[in-house]
Structure 1
Amino acid sequence: EELGDMLWYISNIASKFNLDLQEIAEDNLRKCNDRWGWRDSTETDNKNTSYIFDNEFPEHESLPRQFEVEITEVSQDNSVKMKAFINKEQIGNDLTDNSYKSDGYRFHDIFHFSYAAVLGWSVVTRSILKRKRKSHHLIDEVEDGGRAVAIEEGISALVFSYAKDHDFLEGVSTLDYQLLKTIKNMTSHLEVSQCSLGDWERAILMGYDVWRQVEKNRGGTVLIDIDAGLITYQI
């Protein structure tokens, strides 16, 4: 009886304000799926969650669908640095923590690789691998340009600050909605806006799972498989 009364009041309010209850319900279902949908998918379904934003570009302007990165740590010039290699050739620059206290941020390229693996998107990874889409001026300027790089680096730093307060996401299976919503807002004008909150959550959690192992072992091999939407670690 109480449920019936509540439904009557809801229907009455909706009628007075010309609200479509079916439309509201469908919108809420879309929001729930955007946030939680990936958790209801099977392992097989998850392999198809990554997006391909460079399908129509030549190979030299596309992210490689599978690649391995060898991560090493060296002590040099009174600082600890991270070096990354693909096929024994260094990619990117030597990285330090850029911090007064060691916190492992020198390994943060792993987060960019994770975005590439799960989201099919990472401006930073594209730059590191020299796969910018220069054949399309507007794409090169907007999607692969400096502002997009700054946004992705900002996301990496933002999430790292959050992760520090949560044991670097050890044993964490759910991220705060506000964090994910902030990331969505930061990327709303970019191609990665197609990715859901759940996609971002999965990319972040998988990235930190690999990061913790790399940080613990001071290096190792990171395997990125964009087709499978996976990033994994091996010593």
Structure 2
Amino acid sequence: MVDLKSNKTSFNSTFHKNEELPNSFLVNFNEIKKEGKEFVRISIDGTQIGDVIDDNSYEKDFYRYHDVFHYTFATMLNWSPCTRAMLGRKRKSIPIIDEYEDGARATITEEAISLILFNEAKRTNLFENRKVSKTILKIIKQMTEPFEVRVKTEKEWEKAILKGYSLFKKLVANRGGEIEFNLDNRNAIYLNN
């Protein structure tokens, strides 16, 4: 089973290959216009992942690119119930893990973290100062206490958040692009300039 005391833990270990997060994957964020609105279509290897997303807001704030945060959490923290759901990588072979770690509560928690961070980012010019407030990091740690990701430190969360926002800025500036996510080296690289 997963050793929750180790920060080096792979939450993939002991699961079927088709339940593991992929070691690396390329995600294409393609902005499209439909009926005068901007949307983002996300694909991996030419296959659309999830729904086409808009900002779901009166304000045009580019939230349509927010899935980059989920993929970054998967890559840098080895945790993202949202990514597991989008990629069809839920760990169904162990029902309790499927229910508690990859289920609705975990997914809603991750989406809530994404939204909290997004609202904080708007106030801090997308974390221009390269810092996430201690208060926000403590809230995230409290929110994730019931889940396997609780072993990740505030510093690891901050690094993942800042990386996600650096990628988000590039997606917004270029109205899309392709990002390579690599779990082996815990990094993500924006490929299109």
TM-score normalised by the chain length of structure 1: 0.77
Alignment gaps of 5+ in structure 1? 1-48
Q: 1:174 — aligned with what? A: 131
Q: 2:185 — aligned with what? A: 228
SS in 1 for 2:171: helix
Q: 1:201 — aligned with what? A: 158
SS in 1 for 2:140: helix
Q: 2:169 — aligned with what? A: 212
Q: 1:94 — aligned with what? A: 52
Separation of aligned partners in 1, 2:181 and 2:53:
20
Q: 1:138 — aligned with what? A: 96
The answer to whether structure 1 residue 185 and structure 2 residue 139 are counterparts is no
TM-superposed CA distance for 1:80, in Å, is 1.0
TM-superposed CA distance for 1:231, in Å, is 1.4
* Pairing 1:37-76 to 2, within 5 Å after superposition: 51-76=9-34
Alignment gaps of 5+ in structure 2? 1-6
Which of structures 1 and 2 has the bigger CA Rg?
1
Q: 2:118 — aligned with what? A: 160
Q: CA RMSD in A?
A: 1.1
Percent identity for Structure 1 against Structure 2 = 39
The answer to whether structure 1 residue 147 and structure 2 residue 100 are counterparts is no
Separation of aligned partners in 2, 1:54 and 1:113:
15
Separation of aligned partners in 2, 1:65 and 1:187:
23
Change over 3 Å in CA distance of 1:84–1:147 after alignment to 2: same
Q: 1:85 — aligned with what? A: 43
Separation of aligned partners in 1, 2:67 and 2:20:
18
TM-superposed CA distance for 1:51, in Å, is 4.2
